């Protein structure tokens, strides 16, 4: 029984093969336009923060009454690696870190178990404690950040404008959430004068109780009727500082206005907890987080259009400036990839033309884009986006995926040189080289298997190397046994002087020199084996000196400066230090913009 020959079947159905070839090219172009584009691959942030407040408690009391209790309960979690915590006056913070081999899909369930176990002992925490609060989303990064500022606008004005823009941006496609950064909450301050209270014979405690009793939100009842029920609402709610100052209170059987014995002002939380500045001016930030299925370049364009339409609705003189733009970074990254990719492709094609000749090299040159188009299509189907890891894997695979095509077309060209007809030469390549090529392809893929099977954060971050290389190499083998014979059948010619050419095919200076080198290696095989082992040992030793890092170096033109002041330093002191650093950086002519 004759064995199945895939190349022979392809050539007997050339119309179908041509249709599939065109379909792959169109599918690759479609996939390139639809693939998500990001700066880095998505990965699971494996830390949760459990924060609890205990106003008035010392660091030792916080540790003994909060941190220790919470840690002992959280230690019951499965897949827990370690806990890290600190206790300071009035505050307990615990960092929960699961084991590296915990599958990403199990992390949300683990965070649920943390909340559940902490809730089990919430009633045993000391009275007066606030929380615990859980944060497992601080690993989310902002794709774009905008700064709202303007001369003559206070934080309340900036917040009102930024909040209005936020509501509009939430409607933009692929926007997951929009956060306000550096918001200063407004407060009403009632400042008593001890001298005035003494003159009026008032007690501070009685005044405070009278104020707390006012403006309380209590139900006033409901009027029931056959048609509808009407809730009763009480008037007199505070709507400004004047309404507070003019409010009448009865203390010690006497009626006073609050303004008679206190000063009422409007201000912001003092001391502030967080502030933002942009180019030396107080500002309010707006951070946009993209959904996981989004395309950051498309998101950048959509937000740019949305903000252009909202500019007319902002108060005159208020500026909206871009602080960070990941879409611009990814766009430059894609342009850099395109340049590097075409340089690598040109190098591969030049080598193919020089080593195989014009016609034979053209077959390889056409097979490579076909394999890349098919790779992009499979990446789209598998949900693998274009980011720094997958782009690097594509460039890496470019030097590997030409091997199978070159072997197949070189075998076909050699048989044509010997006088074989095109059908026989094309199908012979499958019979002689298909399964050895497949074995070599699988062995190459196996070399990347540790990356694909790594159960760690680094493995999750770099897994697209294994995925993309594996996909491209498998498709390169398919291309070598399907499209390469098809293109070779159409482009290569039969040598009419096949018998004479068969004897002279390898009788060239290059092959004669190569044959002498191989013979010398066989004669001195012991020396070759020793030299090979020595080089292998040298490579192992050199590997121990290779620097290790989780994230690759960023090519963003930015520098982050961390300022650390002694523990317990006032916010105003920290702000003053940051302002001095701003002024110092502003003197640098090469500095573009500063964000604090």
Long-range contacts at 14-20 (CB < 8 A, ≥ 24 apart): 14/486, 14/489, 17/482, 17/483, 17/486, 18/486
Tokens, residue 365: 């040159």
Architecture of domain 6-34+357-515: Up-down Bundle (1.20)
Give the model's confidence band at 497: pLDDT under 50 very low, under 70 low, under 90 confident, else very high. low
Give the model's confidence band at 555: pLDDT under 50 very low, under 70 low, under 90 confident, else very high. low
Residue 593 burial by Cβ neighbours in a 10 Å radius (0-12, 13-18, 19+) = middle
* Of the listed ranges 13-17, 209-213, 441-445, 559-563, the one predicted with least confidence: 209-213
Architecture of domain 48-135: 2-Layer Sandwich (3.30)
Q: Residue 282's CB: how many other CB atoms inside 10 A? A: 18
Cα(486)–Cα(481) distance, integer angstroms: 9
Q: Flag whether pLDDT at 270 surpasses 60.
A: yes
CATH 3.30.2090.10 fits 186-268, yes or no: yes
SS3 544: coil
Residue 131 burial by Cβ neighbours in a 10 Å radius (0-12, 13-18, 19+) = middle
Name the more confident of 424 and 532.
532
Strands 48-53 vs 91-98: parallel, antiparallel or unpaired: antiparallel
Q: Flag whether pLDDT at 265 surpasses 80.
A: no
Q: Flag whether pLDDT at 60 surpasses 70.
A: yes
Q: For the segment 382-421, what is each residue's pLDDT rounded down to a tens digit?
A: 888 877 788 878 878 777 777 777 777 777 777 777 777 7
Give me the mean pLDDT over the 321-349 stretch.
76
Cα(99)–Cα(76) distance, integer angstroms: 14
pLDDT score, position 1: 47
Q: Which residues contact 467 (CB under 8 A, 6 or more apart)?
A: 382, 384, 390, 393, 452
Q: Flag whether pLDDT at 380 surpasses 60.
A: yes
Cα(547)–Cα(543) distance, integer angstroms: 9
The residues of the chain that CATH labels 3.30.2090.10 are 186-268
Do residues 591 and 285 make contact, with C-beta atoms less than 8 angstroms apart?
no
The C-alpha torsion from 533 through 539 and 542 to 543, rounded to 10°, is -130
Do residues 469 and 445 make contact, with C-beta atoms less than 8 angstroms apart?
yes
Give me the mean pLDDT over the 2-18 stretch.
76
pTM: 0.72
The residues of the chain that CATH labels 3.30.70.1430 are 48-135
DSSP string, 118-152: HHHTGGGSPTT-EEEEEE--TT---SEEEEEE-TT
Residue with token string 């909040």:
163
Q: Flag whether pLDDT at 84 surpasses 80.
A: yes
Tokens, residue 482: 């399907």
pLDDT score, position 288: 80
Q: Residue 425's CB: how many other CB atoms inside 10 A? A: 23
* Of the listed ranges 241-255, 496-510, 540-554, the one predicted with least confidence: 496-510
CA distances from 350 to 24, 356, 432 (A): 24, 10, 27
Mean residue pLDDT of the chain comes to 77
The C-alpha torsion from 111 through 117 and 121 to 122, rounded to 10°, is 30
User: In the chain, what percentage of residues exceed pLDDT 90?
Assistant: 0
How big is the CA angle at 276 (ends 275 and 280), to the nearest 5 degrees? 120
SS3 320: strand
The residues of the chain that CATH labels 1.20.1640.10 are 6-34+357-515
Strands 248-251 vs 229-231: parallel, antiparallel or unpaired: unpaired
Do residues 288 and 303 make contact, with C-beta atoms less than 8 angstroms apart?
yes
How big is the CA angle at 131 (ends 575 and 273), to the nearest 5 degrees? 10
Give the model's confidence band at 76: pLDDT under 50 very low, under 70 low, under 90 confident, else very high. confident
CA distances from 283 to 41, 60, 96, 178, 383 (A): 31, 38, 33, 16, 38
Q: Flag whether pLDDT at 503 surpasses 60.
A: no
Helical segments of 383-456, H only: 388-417, 422-447, 449-453
């Amino acid at each position: 029984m004759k064995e199945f020959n895939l190349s022979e079947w392809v050539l007997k159905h050339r119309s179908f093969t041509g249709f599939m070839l065109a379909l792959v090219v169109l599918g690759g172009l479609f996939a390139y336009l639809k693939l998500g584009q990001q700066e880095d691959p998505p990965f699971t942030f494996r830390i949760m923060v459990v924060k609890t407040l205990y106003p008035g408690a010392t660091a030792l009391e916080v540790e003994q009454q909060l941190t220790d209790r919470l840690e002992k309960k959280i230690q019951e979690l499965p897949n827990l690696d370690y806990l890290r915590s600190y206790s300071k006056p009035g505050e307990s913070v615990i960092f929960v870190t699961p084991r590296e081999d915990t599958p990403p899909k199990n992390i949300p369930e683990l965070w649920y178990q943390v909340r559940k176990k902490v809730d089990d002992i919430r009633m045993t925490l000391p009275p007066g404690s606030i929380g615990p609060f859980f944060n497992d989303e601080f690993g989310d990064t902002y794709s774009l950040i905008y700064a709202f500022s303007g001369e003559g606008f206070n934080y309340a004005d900036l917040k009102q404008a930024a909040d209005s823009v936020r509501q509009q941006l939430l409607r933009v496609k692929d926007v997951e959430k929009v956060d306000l950064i550096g918001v200063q909450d407004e407060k009403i301050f009632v400042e008593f004068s001890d001298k005035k209270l003494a003159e009026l014979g008032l007690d501070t405690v009685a005044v405070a109780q009278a104020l707390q009793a006012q403006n309380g939100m209590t139900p006033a009842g409901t009027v029931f009727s056959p048609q509808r029920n009407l809730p009763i609402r009480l008037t007199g709610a505070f709507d400004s500082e004047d309404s507070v100052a003019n409010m009448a209170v009865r203390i010690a059987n006497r009626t006073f206005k609050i303004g008679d014995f206190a000063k009422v002002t409007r201000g912001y939380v003092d001391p502030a907890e967080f502030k933002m500045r942009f180019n030396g001016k107080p500002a309010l930030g707006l951070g946009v987080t993209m959904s996981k299925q989004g395309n950051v370049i498309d998101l950048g364009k959509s937000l740019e259009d949305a903000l252009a339409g909202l500019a007319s609705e902002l108060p005159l003189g208020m500026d909206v400036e871009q602080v960070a733009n990941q879409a611009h970074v990814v766009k430059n990254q894609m342009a850099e990839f395109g340049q590097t990719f075409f340089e690598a492709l040109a190098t591969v094609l030049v080598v193919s033309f020089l080593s195989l000749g014009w016609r034979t090299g053209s077959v390889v040159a056409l097979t490579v884009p076909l394999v890349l188009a098919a790779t992009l299509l499979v990446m789209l189907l598998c949900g693998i986006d274009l980011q720094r890891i997958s782009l690097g894997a594509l460039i890496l695979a470019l030097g590997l995926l030409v091997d199978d095509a070159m072997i197949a077309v070189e075998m076909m060209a050699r048989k044509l040189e010997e006088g074989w007809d095109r059908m026989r030469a094309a199908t012979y390549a499958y019979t002689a080289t298909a399964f050895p090529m497949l074995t070599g392809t699988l062995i190459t893929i196996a070399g990347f298997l540790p990356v694909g099977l790594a159960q760690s954060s680094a493995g999750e971050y770099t897994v697209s190397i294994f995925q993309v290389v594996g996909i491209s190499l498998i498709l390169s083998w398919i291309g070598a046994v399907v499209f390469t014979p098809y293109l070779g059948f159409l482009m290569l010619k039969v040598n009419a002087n096949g018998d004479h050419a068969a004897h002279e095919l390898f009788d060239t200076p290059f092959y004669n020199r190569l044959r002498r080198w191989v013979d010398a290696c066989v004669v001195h095989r012991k020396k070759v084996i020793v030299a090979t082992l020595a080089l292998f040992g040298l490579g192992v030793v050199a590997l121990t000196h290779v620097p290790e890092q989780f994230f690759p170096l960023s090519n963003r033109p930015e520098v982050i400066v961390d300022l650390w002041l002694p523990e317990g330093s006032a916010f105003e002191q920290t702000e003053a230090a940051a302002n001095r650093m701003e002024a110092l950086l502003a003197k640098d002519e090469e500095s573009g913009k500063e964000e604090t």
